Structure 1
Amino acid sequence: MRLILCYPSKQPLHSQAALFLTSTISTSASPSKWSQAIKQSSSPLKSLQIYTHMHHQSIPIDSFTVLYTLTASTHLHNLPLLRHLHAHIFKLGFISNVYIMSSLLHGYSNACFDDARQLFDEMPERTTVTWNTMITGLSRSGNVDKARSLFDEMPMRNIASWSAMIAAYVNTGHQRKGLALFCKMLTDEKLKPDEFTLCAVLGGCAKMGTVGFVLGKSIHGFIVRNWWELNVELGTTLVDMYAKSGSLKVATLVFDMMRETNVVSWTALICGAGQHGYVNEARTLFDRMQKAGVKPNELTFTGILSTCVHAGLVEEGRMYFKLIYQYGLKPNIHHYGCMVDLFGKAGELEDAYEVIMKMQPEANMNVWGSFLNACKVQNNFKMAERVIKRVVELLRPEKDGGVYSLIADLFVMGEKWDDAEKIRRLMVTQNVRKARGTSFISYGGP
């Protein structure tokens, strides 16, 4: 069986890999040296080059070689590649190696969960890590009930199993179930949480208002009493919890106590400040981050731009939007949406229209709805009329009821009575229901 790997590159690799390898590793070197070369490679692609070269030169491949190659391949999310490696593992006789199969399962769970589920069902031996991988994969695919069933079936659970299931609930919007499971872990199983458990629970606290805030403070007290160090992950989660709860001073104190911070930490603080109306603080934090040499990411810019929207800072918004390009990033749908909303609320509808026309990718219904709503507020039917026909073609009866009603109102405002009646009849024939309490623009958070 000849191994043909699917690389994420169109350039031929075998000759380049052979040239690189023959100058660094002798073909007579022991398998352990080859496996270490794969493990220590500077990129997943180089790890695969070494593995391919070994195969072509008939160099013996041991279990560590396969394991390190699989670990590198996981980061590529390349399903054809994983399937080729799976076939090669079968040929080499490593199909019963629980560590190799667990690593393959992890790769499949990131690339194609159906393949992961099939592999899990066929595995002759499973470890706790294997079960935990499936729980995490099921939650990512949105099947949290199946994840819980699997969790309940586990013959043996460790703290990572509980953390995985708690995170599964929190990440799929079932915060209360996640916190209930956390309490069960403490009271029934008498297990002491680790930082991964607390990060998962704190993520749920940030989304549960007053109840979550009280629990979050209690968890913070636990961390302090046990002299835990605020590493980047745990510290950032605490900062995010306090910032989203509006306790910016405490969030800043926690941030300043962290030995190490990163762009996620800064972004959590900036988004929290902007979300609760601390406009000057958000802008000051953004400036401090730049001076500290931390490069903003896409979410950082979403946070600072949404701050400008809430405060009506049009020129500042223009400046931050230009900075996106200066940092070598590309504006995404959230950035464009912020700018449309910012210009629309300021009555600068021509600028909002120009942003929509230049958007890549094209505007979604949130952006169109924001623009049309601004036209209604500004009593400018002529601007709305430019885009209404295009928007109507994109409307989905099951999701865009608010936009249907908005367009009908705009036609009435423009004294287009027949068109308004057509939209209303369309709403009846397509069984359109207007969603209550929705917003045309939604801003992300870390």
Structure 2
Amino acid sequence: MSTRAIGSHLPKATEPFRCKARAISSHAAAIRDEPCPYKSLETFVSIHRLAIPLESFSLVYALQSAASLRNLSQIRHIHCLSIKLGFSKNVYAATSLLNGYVTVSMSDACKLFDELSERNTATWNTMITGHLRSGNVRRASEMFKTMPYRNAVSWSTFISDHVNNGRWVTGLGILRDMMFRTTLKPDQKALSSVILGCSRLDPVGLLLGRSVHGFMVKHVRKISVNAGSALIDMYARFGFMKYAIKFFDFMQEKNVVTWTALICGSALHSDARKTLALFEEMQVSGVRPNELTFTGVLKACVNSGLVHEGRKYFKMMEEYGLEPKIHHLGCMVDLLGNAGLIEEAYEVIQSMKLEPNIVIWGSFLSACREHNKLEMAEGVIELVLRNMSPETVGSGVYSLMYDIYAMNQKWDAAEKVREFMNESCARKIRGSSFIST
């Protein structure tokens, strides 16, 4: 915002005081409404240079912009300014400062938190979130246990972080404590995370997930798109496609996550033609597929050996402006290799902008063994042995190499591979310990 534009918001001297208060609020709104954080900070600096009195919300919006840019020096500058202007004890300004520091510097956040004379649930939640983001689960747990009052956000944040980071059993235990020890109810964000965690807990995950679904039906007025997508994903992963499709049809609002959950589940448990039909229906509905959607589609093609369709959908990624990732290329190598199109599979690997990993090479070597393509396999084996460490290769790929040479009675080469494999096992043993601590 230019100096002239800012000046146009200033009240005339004859206007009553209430107009001045409204003018100051308009400056805070100007900072808030800028299209990008850089512009917001420019407007904030311009207002300050004009000696226009700043209110707490002007600092709050400037802090939000500085935090989104991860600009620690700017956050510190605004912190100093808030102290100078007497806003250090303002709970909104203090919480925004804390949130800004949590984004870029937990040490600064801890210092500020210790200095706060007044703390509310929001400041405690902000610190817990910061410790969780930085990976300090122990400190976050200590703060969670010692905070004076835990609201639904406190519980839901803690549950979501544990489940989203693979600590599913712990997250479900916290949910149980919330349900039985308080009168609070988890929000849909936490419930979505819990459902996704249930999807990965065999075999009791389905039972737990259905219990959560029942709770949502009873207590949630309208199930969100994310929570509904999580339910579809859970039912589909466990092979209950009938329930997944039924709930999918029940949902009034669907996004790419919803469609992708059903497509990926169908790719695992249904006929490929049904999966491809779902994908076509998704396109007709106007929902744009993402990279994960194409992963499900390509896996369906691999499972049923649909080479022509696989090529078609792999090429379609470019039409949507999507760059194929390593898992898409892996699907194509699997698809072509299983069909005996070893040369074409190798061309796909050669065309990769990404460096092929051992999973890609392992898939290719598996196809070479299946179709007895020794010459192509030998070049890849030499490349892998030359450029990858034994720990990276792993015993499974070494076994593939050995089998390929043994099938073709190349015993000297097979023995060389066995030596590499033994070296890998020896390194693993040297790196392990039988002493429990």
- Per the normalisation by structure 2, the TM-score is 0.84
1:295: Cα distance to partner? Answer: 0.7
Q: Match for residue 263 of structure 1?
A: 256
CA distance in 2, matches of 1:196, 1:207: 18
Residues 263 and 106 (structure 1), Cα distance of their counterparts in 2 relative to 1, 3 Å cut:
farther
Q: Are 1:26 and 2:19 an aligned pair?
A: no
CA distance in 1, matches of 2:358, 2:169: 31
Q: Which has the higher helix share?
A: 2
Q: From 355, 360, 382, give the equivalent of 1:367.
A: 360
CA distance in 2, matches of 1:329, 1:48: 34
Q: Are 1:162 and 2:155 an aligned pair?
A: yes
Q: Match for residue 214 of structure 1?
A: 207
Q: From 77, 81, 85, give the equivalent of 2:75.
A: 85
Q: Counterpart of 2:401 in structure 1: which amino acid? A: I
Residues 129 and 335 (structure 1), Cα distance of their counterparts in 2 relative to 1, 3 Å cut:
farther
Q: Are 1:148 and 2:141 an aligned pair?
A: yes
Q: From 289, 293, 296, give the equivalent of 1:296.
A: 289
Contact 1:195 1:234 in 2 (8 A): yes
1:358: Cα distance to partner? Answer: 1.4
Contact 1:397 1:433 in 2 (8 A): no
1:109: Cα distance to partner? Answer: 4.7
Q: Once the two structures are aligned, what percentage of the paired residues are identical?
A: 44
Residues 325 and 247 (structure 1), Cα distance of their counterparts in 2 relative to 1, 3 Å cut:
same
1:214: Cα distance to partner? Answer: 1.5
Contact 1:397 1:427 in 2 (8 A): yes
- Per the normalisation by structure 1, the TM-score is 0.82
Where relative contact order (Cα < 8 A, 6+ residues apart) is larger, the structure is 1
Residues 282 and 70 (structure 1), Cα distance of their counterparts in 2 relative to 1, 3 Å cut:
farther
CA distance in 1, matches of 2:174, 2:49: 51
Residues 51 and 420 (structure 1), Cα distance of their counterparts in 2 relative to 1, 3 Å cut:
farther
Q: Match for residue 181 of structure 1?
A: 174
CA distance in 1, matches of 2:360, 2:100: 36
- Structure 1 gaps, min length 5: 1-16, 435-446
Deviations, residues 353-374 of structure 1 (Å, cap 9, x unaligned): 1111111222222222222222
Q: Counterpart of 1:28 in structure 2: which amino acid? A: L
Contact 1:105 1:116 in 2 (8 A): no
CA distance in 2, matches of 1:201, 1:48: 38
Residues 180 and 92 (structure 1), Cα distance of their counterparts in 2 relative to 1, 3 Å cut:
closer
Q: From 326, 341, 348, give the equivalent of 2:319.
A: 326
Partner of 1:400: helix, strand, or coil?
helix
Q: Counterpart of 2:154 in structure 1: which amino acid? A: S
Q: Match for residue 412 of structure 1?
A: 406
1:396: Cα distance to partner? Answer: 3.8
Q: Are 1:427 and 2:421 an aligned pair?
A: yes
**More deviation in 162-171 or 87-96?**
87-96
Contact 2:131 2:137 in 1 (8 A): yes
CA distance in 2, matches of 1:278, 1:24: 63
1:38: Cα distance to partner? Answer: 2.4
Considering only CA atoms, is the larger Rg found in Structure 1 or Structure 2? 2
Partner of 1:201: helix, strand, or coil?
helix
Q: Counterpart of 2:252 in structure 1: which amino acid? A: R
**More deviation in 63-72 or 143-152?**
143-152
Deviations, residues 367-396 of structure 1 (Å, cap 9, x unaligned): 222222222222212112222233224434
**More deviation in 335-344 or 405-414?**
405-414
1:24: Cα distance to partner? Answer: 7.7
Q: Counterpart of 2:251 in structure 1: which amino acid? A: M
CA distance in 2, matches of 1:108, 1:300: 37
CA distance in 2, matches of 1:55, 1:398: 59
Deviations, residues 77-127 of structure 1 (Å, cap 9, x unaligned): x43x243333332244255555345445445555x5xx2244224422344
CA distance in 1, matches of 2:93, 2:422: 57
Q: Match for residue 194 of structure 1?
A: 187
1:70: Cα distance to partner? Answer: 2.9
Q: Over the residues paired in the alignment, what is the CA RMSD in angstroms?
A: 2.8
